[in-house]
Structure 1
């Protein structure tokens, strides 16, 4: 379906995240190892915070990530301590810029790997649950953007885990009325530029893959001669659809039905479950 990464830590250039790892996100756009399909060529996007404006920068394109020279240029020069990046494999909606992730609202970014099953049947009822003042800001046609605006409607900016639980709860409630047994599949990430929240959940209990990096200081002790680890800051936190390399012990799977909270150089795993309406 899609592949994504979320980074929090000391500022790095985007190419350190998107191009330089052995199994980089750009590499995954052609040769994904754990995705539903190996090719993720239906567009890409990257959002970042650099302190120059209250809201994040955003660059999205319908070009395949592996061949976009503008992305290469941008990645060498943009430096940030919080980054969301996404490569897209459409599940049926159009290949257009407004359907590329991450999605932005104010200082918030959002991205998703997965699907809302039979979304076109559910779309009208789901979008009627979006707050009236937010509805005009839905620009594209994806299930992911609708889910983002549902989360915003239920208080994403105040309590992200609770808001996402309510949004997913609404989707499952609407789906039941339409006879869709397992509507939600995916991994989600959102950030306000200070903290990152990542979710792994599916209605069926068989979510798409999601990993986080192990503590860098521990890895240095295990691999004292590895030069890559000495270039990483202690506060490096990465959440990825699939590992960026093959170093044993470097990547930890995020459990099913879990919310990962990252901020201030630490991370916390907490259980996640949808909250039914009412």
Structure 2
């Protein structure tokens, strides 16, 4: 499938997260431990917010593998951000092309996905017809992931992200059932608006792809007082990842099945998630 990282907290060079950890996303592009595929080399993308850009994220995507891309390395060692996404792709039936690489963007919103819509070729037309006609011309690629994003936008993502994702997931479940597709949806999704990050873990079969969030920094400092890099980041810094970036004891927690979390100013929260089947 794919692997991804969402970072929120102290502004850092992207390279500190993408390249430096022992099991960084770049390492995962070649040696994933928890993904369906060991190698994720069908393109990559990064998206980041900068204060001077008035909330609109920049996006860099390419069809080559992340492990040897010079542009990615160059940008990552010179761009600093307090909220960014990174994604490495393992294609599941759609073309390896730039418009199919994550993250996807609409205005200030970013979206990335790991998983798939089972039977997508059967369901695609019905799902596409549900996209708001005003939004439909902005779809650039052919992936189920991008279509999921535009369905969520259609269902009110910008006003109510959890409700919109629940309605999107419910439509996929209902459409899959109508076409006799067993277990239509498999997803871990991250979405951001420049201030908050929402992360979802759900699958029709109840066996979702791996997803973890980092332990609170204050707790990690108490557990590992000699870890120098923990001194340079704020207590509010948090990561959500497809698989842990290292083996530091106590650093990573599995996101529960069928749940979503919100990383936001103040208190982060974790809730149960259910598709809206109405």
Shift of residue 202 of structure 1?
A: 0.1
1:136 correspondence with 2:141: no
Query: 1:274 is matched with which residue?
Result: 275
- Distance (Å, rounded) in 2 between the aligned partners of 1:158 and 1:242: 30
Give the 3-state SS of the residue equivalent to 2:111 in structure 1: strand
- Distance (Å, rounded) in 2 between the aligned partners of 1:104 and 1:75: 19
Any unmatched runs of 5+ in structure 2? none
Query: 2:105 is matched with which residue?
Result: 104
Query: 1:34 is matched with which residue?
Result: 34
C-alpha distance after superposition, 1:132-169 (max 9, x if no partner): 10111111000000000000000000000000000000
- TM-score norm. by structure 1 comes to 0.98
Contact 2:201 2:260 in 1 (8 A): yes
Contact 1:102 1:111 in 2 (8 A): yes
Shift of residue 186 of structure 1?
A: 1.6
Number of residue pairs matched by the alignment:
277
1:20 correspondence with 2:56: no
Query: 1:51 is matched with which residue?
Result: 51
Shift of residue 256 of structure 1?
A: 0.3
Query: Where in structure 2 are the equivalents of 1:189-228 lying within 5 Å?
Result: 189-228=190-229
Any unmatched runs of 5+ in structure 1? none
RMSD: 0.9
- Distance (Å, rounded) in 2 between the aligned partners of 1:39 and 1:138: 27
Shift of residue 17 of structure 1?
A: 1.2
Shift of residue 69 of structure 1?
A: 0.4
Query: 1:146 is matched with which residue?
Result: 147
- TM-score norm. by structure 2 comes to 0.98
Give the 3-state SS of the residue equivalent to 1:46 in structure 2: strand
- Distance (Å, rounded) in 2 between the aligned partners of 1:13 and 1:197: 22
Contact 2:217 2:234 in 1 (8 A): yes
Range with greater deviation from structure 2 (213-222 or 158-167): 213-222
Query: 1:5 is matched with which residue?
Result: 5
- Distance (Å, rounded) in 2 between the aligned partners of 1:228 and 1:14: 14
Contact 1:26 1:66 in 2 (8 A): yes
- Distance (Å, rounded) in 2 between the aligned partners of 1:10 and 1:147: 30
Range with greater deviation from structure 2 (258-267 or 13-22): 258-267
Shift of residue 229 of structure 1?
A: 2.2
Shift of residue 234 of structure 1?
A: 1.5
Give the 3-state SS of the residue equivalent to 1:174 in structure 2: helix
Query: Where in structure 2 are the equivalents of 1:151-166 lying within 5 Å?
Result: 151-166=152-167
Give the 3-state SS of the residue equivalent to 1:77 in structure 2: coil
Shift of residue 265 of structure 1?
A: 5.2
Query: 1:117 is matched with which residue?
Result: 118
Range with greater deviation from structure 2 (223-232 or 130-139): 223-232
